[in-house]
Amino acid sequence: MQGLGDRAQGNVATPVRGTQSFVHTLSECWRRPSLTALEVLWRWAYGIPALLLLRYEGLKILQATPLDYAALKSMTVVDPLGSAQTLAKAMALLLPQVMGVALWLAPLLVVVWVIVSAVGRTVVLRRADKRLHARVGTLIVLQAVRVVALLGSFAVWFWCMERVAEWTVTGPIALGGEPNLVGYFSLVIVATLGLFTLWAVVSWALSVAPLVAMLRGLGVAGSLVAAFRLGPLKSKLVEINLVMGIVKIALIVLAMVFSATPLPFESVTTPEFLFWWWVGVTVLYFLGSDFFHVARQVAYLQLWRAYED
């Protein structure tokens, strides 16, 4: 791999700051668009069929469910209690059918994602550095471990959302009071950002383990052990992972801002314009996210080469 990781060879005595190297990595990845193109290709090769399948199953559920669409359209923030009851009735009708589909669809999507992501990550990393070993089987298992950990973090998030709802919505309603929707959404935002940042700090080893497997030709257990025993390199990888978490939050905020940009002009815009505007914003968000995913992996690789070579 020319230019990526070679600049720090033989220079271990010179401190290499994680964020400084990451900024340099961004410019180098920008000059090598083929890396991002490959990342986009394998992610969208999975994502587009998955979205079409979800759309198909979602429409089937909606067509088979006798929802009161008039009540849903008449919901207003002026009557939060009535709106909450309307939503509760709709969820009571939808949830059994959604759970029935999710029991087979969710495992299928997870298994396919694990396989596709392992193959795609191998192709991208070997494009970045041809010296890496192809360890597709090992990457499949490591990706499965990371997915399980990620699903565990979602379970913690959902538990937090339930507790927040009890404190601010269902609890006051049970006592005959009004739900505190402002407090609910405030706590949801704080808890979500907090858990998101925590995941970015603690998940670095699961992110770097596949790279360790390809660098050293290790198996599952060996790469996981090596990922947790990186010495001085550990703090720099954590730093990069934390920066990536902040970047992801920034991308989400920017996407929300651009999505809301046409709303003040809603009276002079058409639904078709708004639809395609939101589609464009979504595509740009995913392109930016894919670029930074590549940059993180290449930054890990650069730091590893700087300390190992």
Residue 1 in domain = no
- Mean pLDDT, to the nearest integer, of 164-193? 84
Residue 7 in domain = no
Helix (H) or strand (E) holding 287: helix 271-308
The DSSP annotation for 87-133 comes to HHHHHHHHHHHHHHHHHHHHHHHHHHHHHHHHHHHHHHHHHH-TTS-
Confidence grade of residue 285 (pLDDT, cut at 50, 70, 90): very high
Residue 3 in domain = no
Q: Which residue bears the tokens 């002009």?
A: 265
With beta carbons less than 8 A apart as the criterion, state whether 157 and 30 touch: no
Residue 11 in domain = no
Distance (Å, whole) CA 73 – CA 87: 11
Residue 12 in domain = no
Residue 9 in domain = no
Length reported for the chain: 309
CA-based Rg of the chain, rounded to a whole angstrom? 23
Residue 4 in domain = no
Q: Is the pLDDT of residue 183 over 90?
A: no
Distance (Å, whole) CA 39 – CA 29: 12
Residue 298 in domain = yes
How many domains are there within the chain?
1
**pLDDT value of position 169:** 80
Q: 166 is in which domain, residue-wise?
A: 18-308
**pTM of this structure:** 0.77
Token reading at 297: 């992996």
Phi, psi of 27 (to 5 degrees): -70, -40
Q: Is the pLDDT of residue 26 over 80?
A: yes
- Mean pLDDT, to the nearest integer, of 249-275? 84
